[in-house]
Chain A
Amino acid sequence: MDFAFTAEEEAFRADLRAFLDAEVPDWWRGMFVDDERTMPFTRELCRMLAGRGWLTMAWPPEHGGAGASVWMQAIVREEMWAREEPRGPQYMNLNYIGPLVMRFGTPEQQARFLPPMAQGEVIWTQGFSEPDAGSDLASLITRAEDRGDHFIVNGQKIWTSYADAPADWCLLLTRTNRDAPKHHGISVLLVDMTTPGITVRPIDTMAGPHEFNEVFLDDVRVPRECLLGEQDHGWDVIVAGLTFERVGIARYARAGRVIEVLVEYANATGRGDDPAVRDRLADMRARYEAARLLNYRAVSMQAAGVVPTIEASVARMHNTQLEQQVGHVGLELLGPLGRLRSKDPLAPLEGEIHRYWTRNIPTTVAAGTLEIQKNIVAQRGLGLPRAP
């Protein structure tokens, strides 16, 4: 056991921090704010990262990466997430859409789709949830009809982040076989978002106008060469993708940064000696340590060549609940002024804590609800029987 990063890793973190200090502008507040500068900035930053070899450094060399260790990846995730992910939507390319193309894609698909990701030139979105398929994702009904050299897709996706970025491509879950058991008739299509028949409608949320979208698919023609993995076996692709995703986001790092901001705020406002404030913030720090270590456990397993499954779910249980708690405790510390949003000149900390709390209301719902994570732990980890 060793709970320290190596000198080489620390040096890399310092370089990355210096780069981000220089390149991330003061106005950056993450993706989901009503500011037209966000998308051009994330595209430019990704190009710069690509130029330094940092964008896909974790990918194998044959796909344009440097084969960096999983710990280097963890450092990138921490530094990015602590700054509200300045890579924008492209973190998904690096974390799991690219790796899925490497694992399930044909050589032609790899040659076509991976280089634009490695160069930071393409925005992907994921079409998973449907109005009637949320936690029960496999009950999705968006239909892809096999027409030989192409598929015709009809249906609707919802809660689709970044679709109005606008996204260039979509990793789309479709049903290709309605007669098979529900997990066995699903196929993954790689869909050009400029294809006729695709309509994107933003959904206004508590966090702002650009968090989620509905995507309507009306007789959308998708060439067969855009089928990822085997037809009707898309569920295997998704299970692999969700596992990547659960350890792909260093949510604890953002929580850790917010805790630091709250410590500075408490000290600056003369409340650093208030026993109640000390107790609450120390509690958050301890929870942060727990979440961080459980993420590190999953990464350690990856470093040892083992794919974490329930460990990823345990880490996610901690991560998501930590983020929500830190938001609540932060607003509690601000008191009545915590109601003020970022556009109000009196908003403490420029509304950062308010925004953080709001952003994390759906954190325990997205990418597999907290209850679904607990089901995974109970059934796959502890061997408890499924509900009938």
Chain B
Amino acid sequence: MNLELSAEQRLLAETARAFVDRHGTDASAVDPWPTMVGAGWSGLLIPEDQGGAGGGMVDVALVCEALGRGPVSSPLIASGVLAALPVLWLGSAEQRERWLPGLAAGATVGTLALLEPGMRDEWDAPRIAGAASLSGKKVLVPWAVGADVMVVVTADGLRLLEVADETVRVDAHDTLDGEPTGLVMFDGATAEPLGGTADAKDVLDRVLDHAAIAELAFAVGAAERALDLSVQHAKDRTQFGRPIGSFQAVAHRCADMRADVDACRYLAYQAAWALDRDPATAVLAVTAAKSYANDAIRRVFLNAHQVHGAIGFSTEHDLHTFTRRAKAFELTHGSTARHRDRLATAMGLGTRR
């Protein structure tokens, strides 16, 4: 047992942090993706012999945590986790050869099309029929706008398609967080099978577990920034002749934020480590992390806005960008109830399996 970062992990975290500090929060600044690709982050989960960096989820978590502090918007999770892992785990030698080096090199951007209208969350069964010619609708597809390749989850397993012609139409959603999330409509799109039907659900669960923890790490970074901003505001803002941070009602909110952020960080690290060791036995760590964090991250931002007062609601202040990402995190990759139900099973509750 050792919760300290190794020398390599510390270097990676510091490099990512320095990159985010340089890139800043200016969304109109230069596209961060080429620099991230150059650092090898797009291929962290892809083996070296497929052009990747051969890293693991702990590495992804450290990078995502730093990105959350920006927040830096990038297709890292959509392409490097949600698209890369199914191809890596289910793809034929030919499919891996064709797509993984491009995803690793950032030349190709991939994503996973899963949600359909009517699904409660990502763990519900999709209805689109798995056919060589796909038709139907997927919603809230991350980084769909501009994606080159999509892994599509159908009722009969996973399919892989190249976004090549008008049989795939992508409309940008209007989301609270402003990520390039898309409504995707397939109209006879050509899609090849990715793996068989039997193991599709297990593999998909594992992919989603990885994505949930990557998103959690990102949310931890965002929450840490919200805490930093709140502490600074509590020191600077004077009312009744005193900095408001000297009032216990304000100070204790900040202490609660510290306790929540720290808990989420180590839950994320533990889950990432468990996924690297054996995804099949990581369910308890993943579901504990995600279900706890859904509540805890929400508390952090309630406290951050309360400490900030009216200025926190203004888009002239940075806080709102983090709040938006945090709420998107809470609503994505499994509800609190869903993960608690999975956790209950992992704890040995009930007769269901």
- The minimal Cβ–Cβ distance linking A156 to chain B, given in whole angstroms, is 29
In the complex, B118 has a CB within 8 A of chain A: no
Residues of chain A with a CB closer than 8 A to B252's CB = 371, 374-375, 378
CB-based contact A286/B343 at 8 Å: yes
- In the bound complex, how far is the Cα of B103 from the Cα of A70, in angstroms? 44
Given contacts A279-B340, A378-B251, contact A1 B258 (CB under 8 A): no
In the complex, B352 has a CB within 8 A of chain A: yes
- In the bound complex, how far is the Cα of B348 from the Cα of A266, in angstroms? 10
Residues of chain B with a CB closer than 8 A to A290's CB = 263, 266-267, 288, 292, 296
Residues of chain B with a CB closer than 8 A to A285's CB = 284, 288, 343, 347
In the complex, A336 has a CB within 8 A of chain B: no
CB-based contact B242/A300 at 8 Å: no
Given contacts A282-B340, A374-B255, A381-B258, contact A289 B349 (CB under 8 A): no
Residues of chain A with a CB closer than 8 A to B250's CB = 384
CB-based contact B291/A283 at 8 Å: yes
CB-based contact A1/B349 at 8 Å: no
User: Which of these, A267, A379, A381, A384, contacts B349 with CB under 8 Å?
Assistant: A267
- Over the window 234-270 of chain B, the binary record of Cβ atoms lying under 8 Å from chain A Cβ atoms (1 yes, 0 no) is 1100000011011110111011101100110011011
Which of A281, A289, A310 has the most chain B CB atoms closer than 10 A to its own CB? Answer: A289
In the complex, B29 has a CB within 8 A of chain A: no
CB-based contact B270/A289 at 8 Å: yes
CB-based contact B259/A272 at 8 Å: no
CB-based contact A272/B350 at 8 Å: yes
- The minimal Cβ–Cβ distance linking A320 to chain B, given in whole angstroms, is 11
Given contacts A1-B6, A281-B344, A377-B259, contact A293 B254 (CB under 8 A): no
User: Which of these, A3, A310, A314, A381, contacts B274 with CB under 8 Å?
Assistant: A3
- In the bound complex, how far is the Cα of B268 from the Cα of A372, in angstroms? 28
Closest partner residue, chain B, to A370 (CB atom): B252
User: Which of these, A275, A291, A300, A382, contacts B3 with CB under 8 Å?
Assistant: A300
In the complex, A304 has a CB within 8 A of chain B: yes
Residues of chain A with a CB closer than 8 A to B267's CB = 286, 289-290, 293
In the complex, A335 has a CB within 8 A of chain B: no
Question: B95-133: which residues lie under 8 A (CB-CB) from chain A?
Answer: none
CB-based contact A286/B235 at 8 Å: no
Residues of chain B with a CB closer than 8 A to A378's CB = 245, 251-252, 254-255
Range, interface on chain A: 35 or more
In the complex, B4 has a CB within 8 A of chain A: yes
Given contacts A263-B348, A293-B266, contact A384 B259 (CB under 8 A): no
Question: B70-106: which residues lie under 8 A (CB-CB) from chain A?
Answer: none
- In the bound complex, how far is the Cα of B5 from the Cα of A314, in angstroms? 19
- Over the window 284-312 of chain B, the binary record of Cβ atoms lying under 8 Å from chain A Cβ atoms (1 yes, 0 no) is 11011101100010000000000000000
CB-based contact A289/B2 at 8 Å: no
Residues of chain B with a CB closer than 8 A to A6's CB = 1
Residues of chain B with a CB closer than 8 A to A293's CB = 3, 263, 266-267, 270
Closest partner residue, chain B, to A291 (CB atom): B263
User: Which of these, B256, B262, B288, contacts A289 with CB under 8 Å?
Assistant: B288
CB-based contact B2/A2 at 8 Å: yes
- The minimal Cβ–Cβ distance linking B158 to chain A, given in whole angstroms, is 29
Question: A1-36: which residues lie under 8 A (CB-CB) from chain B?
Answer: 1-6, 9
In the complex, B273 has a CB within 8 A of chain A: yes
Which of B2, B6, B243, B287 has the most chain A CB atoms closer than 10 A to its own CB? Answer: B2
- The minimal Cβ–Cβ distance linking B284 to chain A, given in whole angstroms, is 8
User: Which of these, A277, A289, A311, A377, contacts B255 with CB under 8 Å?
Assistant: A377
- In the bound complex, how far is the Cα of B262 from the Cα of A285, in angstroms? 17
CB-based contact A382/B347 at 8 Å: no
In the complex, A96 has a CB within 8 A of chain B: no
- In the bound complex, how far is the Cα of B351 from the Cα of A282, in angstroms? 15
Given contacts A278-B341, A387-B248, contact A304 B4 (CB under 8 A): yes
Given contacts A378-B245, A384-B235, contact A277 B349 (CB under 8 A): yes
CB-based contact B4/A275 at 8 Å: no
Which of A71, A278, A283 has the most chain B CB atoms closer than 10 A to its own CB? Answer: A278
Closest partner residue, chain B, to A316 (CB atom): B259
- The minimal Cβ–Cβ distance linking A353 to chain B, given in whole angstroms, is 16
Given contacts A374-B256, A386-B246, contact A263 B2 (CB under 8 A): no
In the complex, B219 has a CB within 8 A of chain A: no
- The minimal Cβ–Cβ distance linking A157 to chain B, given in whole angstroms, is 27
- In the bound complex, how far is the Cα of B293 from the Cα of A290, in angstroms? 10
CB-based contact B1/A71 at 8 Å: yes
User: Which of these, A1, A287, A314, A386, contacts B9 with CB under 8 Å?
Assistant: A1
- In the bound complex, how far is the Cα of B269 from the Cα of A263, in angstroms? 26
- The minimal Cβ–Cβ distance linking B254 to chain A, given in whole angstroms, is 5
Residues of chain B with a CB closer than 8 A to A388's CB = 242, 246
In the complex, B216 has a CB within 8 A of chain A: no
Given contacts A2-B2, A289-B267, A303-B2, contact A317 B248 (CB under 8 A): no
Known: A4-B1, A294-B262, A375-B251. 17 other contacts (CB 8 A): A1-B4, A2-B2, A273-B349, A278-B350, A279-B341, A281-B344, A281-B347, A282-B291, A289-B289, A290-B266, A293-B266, A318-B259, A371-B248, A377-B254, A378-B255, A382-B258, A387-B246
Q: Which 9 A-B pairs have the closest CB atoms?
A: A278-B344, A272-B350, A282-B340, A378-B251, A374-B255, A384-B245, A290-B263, A293-B266, A377-B255
Tell me the B residues contacting A by CB distance below 8 Å.
1-6, 9, 58, 227, 231, 234-235, 242-243, 245-248, 250-252, 254-256, 258-259, 262-263, 266-267, 269-270, 273-274, 277, 284-285, 287-289, 291-292, 296, 337, 339-341, 343-344, 347-352
- 5 A-B pairs with CB atoms under 8 Å apart are A5-B1, A267-B351, A282-B347, A294-B259, A384-B235
